[in-house]
Structure 1
Amino acid sequence: MEDSRDPQFASLSVGDSAVAVLVDRATDDADVIHDIELMTCSEYSHLCLGMPSDDTGDLAMYTNNKEMHAEDRLALWPAFHRDRLAADGRRFADEGYDFVVQHQVGSRFVDYMNHVGESTFGTPMPESLSVVEKFANTATTSHYLVLHQALMERRIPRGSKILMVPAASGVVTGFLSATVSSLEV
């Protein structure tokens, strides 16, 4: 690879992680998963392909990052989120999110996703939690690593409502929101 724009750059983070999350029955309303909504946009699947490497013959993932991160693709999450809330008669501004956790691709990506969200929702985003400056792109574990780190550093007060926004090649997006009270590290 020559630089971060190399189409094989994403190969560095695929399959490099693992996480185990246990979800059990809530015993009260202090810890609640409010929403889990995911969307796959197969029309963009050509932007991220796994195949033999052009250079080595080994397997590689080729990602067209410029197209993958085009503004209309980054706007998929907030538009999807806004529309799903509206279908239930809800608005983003009224959800009371205390924190947002974007996929930890990079600090500029996190900032830009929050900017796109603010533009789409017409309201400020909640405080953004991030560990990308410390750990870099942690691929599939990024949301749980951010949650773990913030809980360990006691940056999340009990009863906080957290919004997690996935972003995956291919394109997959969506949102998960939960209130965290008794979760500890």
Structure 2
Amino acid sequence: MSDQENFNLDEVISGDRKIEYVDKLELLREKVNSKGVLSSRSNKKELIEIVENLIDLMPVELRTARWLVREQDTYLNKAREEANEILSIAKVESDRLIADSYVLQEAVIEANALIKKAEDEAQAYRAQIEDEIDLKLTEVLNKFEQINNFIETEKKRLRQPRKIIEPE
């Protein structure tokens, strides 16, 4: 490790020691703030030279970190785009499923209404048939009673002694 890289952070914070990189940045700020900074070609060359020196002074880790931050931003932007695309697809699918769900709910409600109506009609039809059967059974019973009465009457008549009529 070079002497430049091996410094005490407390010295930098207290201002006893400045980092060369920060010094170059302060110089660049002063140049940019001065009037007519880009008025001549030599000033432009000086600024470019300061920037190149700054880049050269940057530790490899800092340049790598800068590259990593750019890559991270690119990756995050791509991930955001993919996430937004996934969300939009999910929303479309969700809307479709909700619509299908409403259709299904309406179909279930309609089916239940039809089933209820069919059950009511079947119950009414059964009651009507039972009433008709009861009526027919009553008629049959009446006929049996009539036949039974007729048979009883005829039995009694047959059991009575015959009256013999004498000739005159």
What is the TM-score when the length of structure 1 is the normalising length? 0.17
Of the two structures, which has the highest relative contact order with CA contacts closer than 8 Å and spacing of 6 or more? 1
Tell which structure's C-alpha radius of gyration is larger. 2
Structure having the larger proportion of residues in strand: 1
